[in-house]
Structure 1
Amino acid sequence: MFSNITDKIRLLFRKDKEPYLCFYKMLGFYPRNIEIYQQALLHKSSSIKAGKGRLLNNERLEFLGDAILDAIVADIVYKKFEGKREGFLTNTRSKIVQRETLNRVAVEIGLDKLIKYTTRQSSHNSYMCGNAFEALIGAIYLDRGYRACKKFMEERIINQYLNLEKISRKEVNFKSKLIEWSQKNKFCVEFNLIEQSLDSDQNPIFETQITVENIPAGTGKGYSKKESQQEAAHATLTKIKGDPQFIDAIFAAKAEREKAAETAESENTTAIHEEAIAVEESISVREEEIPKEHFVDTERIIAEAEEVAFRESK
């Protein structure tokens, strides 16, 4: 409180009050080093040259903010969900710090209106706002420290925009969920990249189609393969839950595949058995081909050796 009053008094003597007031509305405190906050909003597409020809943008702050945000959210989740196991805590933290959540939060607090970028980049960089949010956390950390970051996340973000109980129960990784379902029910699922094209700004677009037992399921598009796979997996799970004809088709296909596999295994077992019999017969034939005189000679040699040994012992 006292720190904010001091910063507000200092602000009275500044000519450029507007940027400070803008960040105050968003953060709940006045920046001390406003340049670092402005850097957090500078996308790499609008990089500026700093000393010694170095490009200045928000990528380094994003890296720092990512690590700090992980620690803060882990701290909050650990204290919020007492008694929960590591897996639950890890999944909940991941859902909070994932790009989709951070993108939404960035828009909610108005961060998207302050980011500096080129028009071309805005058309396809779906994670730009989330990245800028992480960079903002990095700026807060450098300017005010860990406590200020945690207070900002708790009071300005989580309490106002995020329901931790709801997030902890939310299914977000559709691809992982689909793979888990397929393994549990022994279905064959494949992710196929069916098309790669360019949008009007020459940005790559990927289209993925998922097949279940070689039957077309969901499709999805995105500006990355991962994004298109998530969309396709989401569509597939929706189809599994709400399309009875699709369910009947994949079960029938699965039954045919398993029947074919059983037949192939049975034929393979028969072939192995027949081969074993052939080998045994071959060995038997070879044994019969050995001359009987060989055994007679062997017995005679042994008998003579025993007789010589008996004489010498006397």
Structure 2
Amino acid sequence: MVPSDVISLIKLLFVKDKELYVFIHRITGFYPRRIDLYQLAFVHRSKPVQLPDGHWANNERLEFLGDAVLDLVVADYLYNRYPTKHEGFLTSTRAKIVQRESLNRVGRSLHIDTHVRASSHSSSHNSYINGNAVEALVGAIYLDRGYHACKQFIEQRIIRDHFDINALVNTEQNYKSRLIEWTQKFRVTIEFELVDTYNDRDNNAVFKTAVMLGGIYAADAIGYSKKESHQGASRKAFERIKTDALFREQVLSTTAPAADDTPPQL
């Protein structure tokens, strides 16, 4: 029986997009079975392609799938690596790995930017195109090769090759996680409200999110994803807490009583 990778190598002689075929093998260690998935993974919404059935498509569906698979694999990796750590630690550490800034750095390191299809305006104004493409690539690998191969790619080529986990757990790059931890410490409620959504001139979706602390408006920010807008609003809110004493006092005055502080019911 001929190994599947040998068959894939033979296909390389006849495939049209040889450059992408070789590129995927270089960064994953295997040859694609369905090159169409990887072609679509690198298509930004600003420059969609027409499929054989006539529909126009981009990488957003693969990005959605890849985001979920990435979260699962990273959670599994951290759960097994840190068997005694609490849920808050695991959540915060995972967020540092899967946040757009981190994935964008991974995308540049893997040279994904050389294969992304996007309008020139979007490429210069949307700094997270590469990170989004990494998630779409994960989605493509999952559909093409299954969960095991996808898990191996994430653990080896994303986590181990690009993150010093020991150093990462001691950093505080995720403003949303930091803000949530602060509100939990002082028993302040926190809400993220989607204020507005619109498209820029290249038809890229833009999200505007406001963060409320104890029911009080703290800050808002825009981003090319909800995650990005959450991070921006969290950063502004966190800076406001540190620099605006009056605002901090107002927020802390909304502190909910702890369970032990609640008077017994007669």
TM-score, length of structure 2 as denominator length? 0.69
Which residue of structure 2 aligns with residue 272 of structure 1? none
Matched, 1:159 2:160: yes
In structure 2, what is the Cα distance between the partners aligned to 1:176 and 1:34?
A: 37
Matched, 1:150 2:135: no
In structure 1, what is the Cα distance between the partners aligned to 2:15 and 2:29?
A: 19
The aligned runs of 1:65-144 (5 Å cut-off) are 65-144=66-145
In structure 2, what is the Cα distance between the partners aligned to 1:232 and 1:23?
A: 36
Flag the 1:41–1:230 CA change in 2: closer, same or farther, 3 A. Answer: closer
Which residue of structure 1 aligns with residue 257 of structure 2? none
The aligned runs of 1:206-217 (5 Å cut-off) are none
In structure 2, what is the Cα distance between the partners aligned to 1:223 and 1:49?
A: 23
Percent identity over paired residues: 49
In structure 1, what is the Cα distance between the partners aligned to 2:14 and 2:229?
A: 52
Higher relative contact order (CA 8 A, sep 6+): 2
The aligned runs of 1:220-299 (5 Å cut-off) are 230=231, 234=235
How many residues align? The count is 248
In structure 2, what is the Cα distance between the partners aligned to 1:43 and 1:162?
A: 26
Flag the 1:222–1:89 CA change in 2: closer, same or farther, 3 A. Answer: closer
Flag the 1:28–1:202 CA change in 2: closer, same or farther, 3 A. Answer: closer
Flag the 1:134–1:202 CA change in 2: closer, same or farther, 3 A. Answer: closer
Which residue of structure 1 aligns with residue 63 of structure 2? 62
Q: Given that residues 241 and 247 in structure 2 are in contact (C-alpha distance below 8 angstroms), is that contact kept between their aligned partners in structure 1?
A: no
The aligned runs of 1:177-216 (5 Å cut-off) are 177-178=178-179, 181=182
For the pair shown, which has the larger CA radius of gyration, 1 or 2?
1
Q: Given that residues 124 and 223 in structure 1 are in contact (C-alpha distance below 8 angstroms), is that contact kept between their aligned partners in structure 2?
A: no
Any unmatched runs of 5+ in structure 1? Answer: 188-198, 209-217, 259-314
Report the Cα offset of residue 220 of structure 1.
8.2
SS at 2:169 equivalent: helix
Report the Cα offset of residue 4 of structure 1.
3.3
Flag the 1:71–1:220 CA change in 2: closer, same or farther, 3 A. Answer: closer
One-letter code aligned to 1:133: V
The structure in which a higher percent of residues are helix is: 1
Which residue of structure 2 aligns with residue 23 of structure 1? 24
Q: CA RMSD in A?
A: 4.4
Report the Cα offset of residue 169 of structure 1.
2.9
TM-score, length of structure 1 as denominator length? 0.60
Flag the 1:98–1:18 CA change in 2: closer, same or farther, 3 A. Answer: same
Report the Cα offset of residue 19 of structure 1.
2.4
Q: Given that residues 205 and 221 in structure 1 are in contact (C-alpha distance below 8 angstroms), is that contact kept between their aligned partners in structure 2?
A: yes
